[in-house]
């Protein structure tokens, strides 16, 4: 019996250590990913920090259109460098690139959390899916083009 118990004990220790060394494996949960990966800058409710990190709320007009959703997915997949305006504030910071840090299902989960929990999905909204993320992953645009895409969207 002792041997069996030790065996389970070792398995538990191994499982705990493995789970701790690969935190990404367990987390396909949008809320958890947001808290871990986005909230340090964009803040826990996505409210942003004046002049430093733009809010991820008030995205409804963008979520309603395909161009808007493409822009949002593109910025998270490939990163982006300003300057941008949101409301009365100007931001000229650096948005990180997530294409190496997160897999597509995780990017999908976090974007759907932003869209559906931090924002109120507007009519015309379609959830982010793997086919959109796959095509955006495959094609990185120069920042100037991403900026042009943003400038075609309604001000927010
Ligand atoms: C290290 C800080 C940091 C982290 C972490 C971060 N961001 Fe950002 N993000 C920024 C900054 C700064 C900008 C504005 C970039 C600029 O000035 O052009 C930005 C811009 C954005 C934008 C575009 C906003 C707009 O109005 O154009 C989106 C969408 C976004 N981030 C989503 C996310 C998501 C989702 C995560 C988590 C997966 C995340 N960010 C993690 C700093 C961060």
Position 18 in a domain: no
pLDDT tens, residue by residue, 54-83? 999 999 999 999 999 999 999 999 999 989
| Number of domains, the chain | 1
pTM (predicted TM-score): 0.87
Please report, for the domain that includes residue 72, its CATH number. 1.10.760.10
Taking the centre of ligand 1 as the mean of its atom positions, its distance from the CA of residue 12, in whole angstroms, is: 38
Closest ligand 1 atom, CA of 114?
A: 35
53 DSSP β-pair partners: 49
State yes or no: pLDDT of 119 exceeds 50: yes
38 CA → ligand 1 middle, Å: 8
Q: Which tens digit of pLDDT belongs to each residue from 9-47?
A: 555 554 444 444 455 544 579 999 999 999 999 999 999
Structure-token pair, residue 110? 């976090």
Nearest CA to ligand 1 atom 31: 95
Asked if the structure places residue 38 within a domain, the reply is yes
Domain assignment present for residue 7? The answer is no
- The closest-lying atom of ligand 1 relative to the alpha carbon of residue 82 is 18
Distance CA 85, CA 65 (A): 19
Q: Cβ atoms within 10 A of the Cβ of 155, count?
A: 8
Does residue 20 or residue 48 have the better pLDDT? 48
User: Which domain range does residue 75 map to?
Assistant: 28-152
Q: And the tokens for 115?
A: 């869209």
Whether residue 14 is contained in a domain is answered as no
Structure tokens, 6 = 């030790």
Q: Is residue 133 part of a domain?
A: yes
* Number of the ligand 1 atom closest to the C-alpha atom of 98: 38
């Amino acid at each position: 019996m002792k041997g069996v118990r030790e065996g389970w004990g070792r398995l538990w220790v191994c499982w705990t250590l493995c789970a701790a060394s690969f935190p990404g494996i367990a987390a396909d949960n949008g809320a958890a990913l947001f808290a871990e990966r986005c909230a340090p800058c964009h803040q826990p409710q996505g409210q942003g920090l004046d002049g430093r990190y733009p809010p991820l709320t008030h995205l409804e007009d963008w979520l309603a259109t395909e161009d808007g959703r493409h822009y949002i997915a593109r910025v998270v997949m490939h990163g982006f460098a300003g300057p941008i305006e949101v409301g009365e504030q100007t931001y000229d910071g650096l948005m990180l690139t997530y294409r190496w840090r997160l897999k597509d299902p995780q990017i999908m989960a976090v974007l759907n959390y932003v869209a559906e929990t931090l924002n109120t999905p507007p009519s015309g909204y379609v959830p982010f899916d793997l086919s959109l993320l796959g095509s955006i992953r495959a094609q990185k645009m120069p920042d100037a083009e991403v900026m042009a895409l943003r400038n075609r969207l309604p001000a927010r």
